[in-house]
């Protein structure tokens, strides 16, 4: 199990931070379209390779319980790729809010049993780091800022998606989005109380994070 603060963890975070800084600067230079689309393809290939790895038995367990791309980060990766490719405002907003309010937590407290330099290690950090980096590239680099009511729209989409995943968890016995139990590794959910209370607490914190992430742009809009 990856230890928080271990060299393999801190090294990944440092690499992602440096890559993000470079990409944000590059996004402000002329003609970023080709490498933004290349990054979109990289994210999709990285995600699809994980599905193949699971289907080929890379992780023991039920296929329905493990291999469906239903974790919020899985969906965020595909939405991020679409946002990089099209730069449509709603896709950018979902990428920004989900990436910085949710996916970044998966980087800080990774649910990752495998270690460097295994395939799951690289896949995990490329996927999650790619979402966070892309969110900042789109909003800070390209300056595609969230619009009015973006927080409420993204919150509504998140609630609807969570309800759908909860129904699938109930039918399959899976634990996508950790709606039936906390992950086995240490995460921020550990301090939010027992099941099911941590779900409601996490939802309130999530909404507060969305509002906080929107605050700088809300001030700009008022001016």
Q: Are 34 and 46 in contact (CB under 8 A)?
A: no
Predicted confidence band of residue 1 (pLDDT cuts 50, 70, 90): low
Q: How many whole angstroms separate alpha carbon 70 and alpha carbon 164?
A: 10
Q: Tens digits of per-residue pLDDT, 44-54?
A: 999 999 888 88
Predicted confidence band of residue 60 (pLDDT cuts 50, 70, 90): low
Query: Based on the number of CB atoms within 10 Å of its own CB, is 186 exposed (0-12), middle (13-18) or buried (19 or more)?
Result: middle
Residue 127 has pLDDT above 80, yes or no: yes
SS3 46: helix
Region of residue 111 (phi > 0: left; psi between -120 and 50: alpha; otherwise: beta): beta
* Widest pairwise Cα distance in the chain: 55
Q: How many whole angstroms separate alpha carbon 186 and alpha carbon 25?
A: 34
Please give the mean pLDDT across all residues of the chain.
89
Q: Are 16 and 129 in contact (CB under 8 A)?
A: yes
Residue 65 has pLDDT above 60, yes or no: no
Residue 19 has pLDDT above 90, yes or no: yes
In the prediction, which pLDDT does 41 show?
A: 98
pLDDT average, residue stretch 11-38: 95
Shortest CA distance to 123 belongs to which of 39, 214, 51? Answer: 51
In the prediction, which pLDDT does 67 show?
A: 63
Query: Based on the number of CB atoms within 10 Å of its own CB, is 103 exposed (0-12), middle (13-18) or buried (19 or more)?
Result: buried
Q: Which tokens belong to 66? A: 């493990």
In the prediction, which pLDDT does 34 show?
A: 95
Q: Tens digits of per-residue pLDDT, 159-173?
A: 999 999 999 989 888
Helix (H) or strand (E) holding 208: helix 197-222
Q: How many whole angstroms separate alpha carbon 132 and alpha carbon 173?
A: 30
Q: How many helices (H) and strands (E) does the chain have?
A: 9, 0
Q: Are 80 and 32 in contact (CB under 8 A)?
A: no
Q: Tens digits of per-residue pLDDT, 78-113?
A: 999 999 999 999 999 999 999 999 888 889 888 788
Is the pTM for the entire model greater than 0.95? no
Q: Which tokens belong to 165? A: 């995943």
Shortest CA distance to 168 belongs to which of 153, 179, 182? Answer: 179
């Amino acid at each position: 199990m990856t230890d928080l603060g271990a060299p393999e963890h801190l090294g990944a975070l440092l690499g992602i931070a440096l890559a993000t800084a470079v990409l944000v600067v590059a996004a402000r230079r002329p003609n970023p379209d080709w490498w933004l689309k290349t990054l979109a393809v990289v994210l999709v290939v990285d995600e699809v390779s994980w599905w193949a790895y699971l289907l080929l038995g890379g992780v023991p367990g039920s296929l329905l319980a493990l291999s469906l791309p239903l974790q919020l980060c899985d969906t965020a990766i595909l939405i991020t790729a679409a946002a990089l490719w099209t730069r449509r405002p709603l896709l950018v907003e979902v990428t920004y809010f989900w990436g910085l309010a949710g996916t970044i937590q998966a980087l800080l407290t990774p649910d990752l049993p495998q270690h460097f330099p295994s395939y799951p290690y690289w896949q995990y950090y490329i996927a999650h780091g790619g979402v966070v980096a892309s969110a900042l590239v789109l909003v800070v680099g390209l300056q595609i800022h969230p619009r009015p009511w973006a927080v409420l729209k993204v919150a509504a989409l998140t609630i609807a998606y969570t309800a759908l995943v909860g129904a699938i968890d109930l039918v399959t016995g899976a634990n996508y989005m950790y709606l039936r139990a906390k992950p086995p590794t240490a995460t921020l959910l550990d301090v939010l109380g027992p099941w099911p209370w941590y779900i409601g607490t996490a939802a309130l914190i999530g909404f507060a994070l969305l509002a906080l992430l929107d605050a700088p742009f809300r001030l700009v809009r008022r001016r």
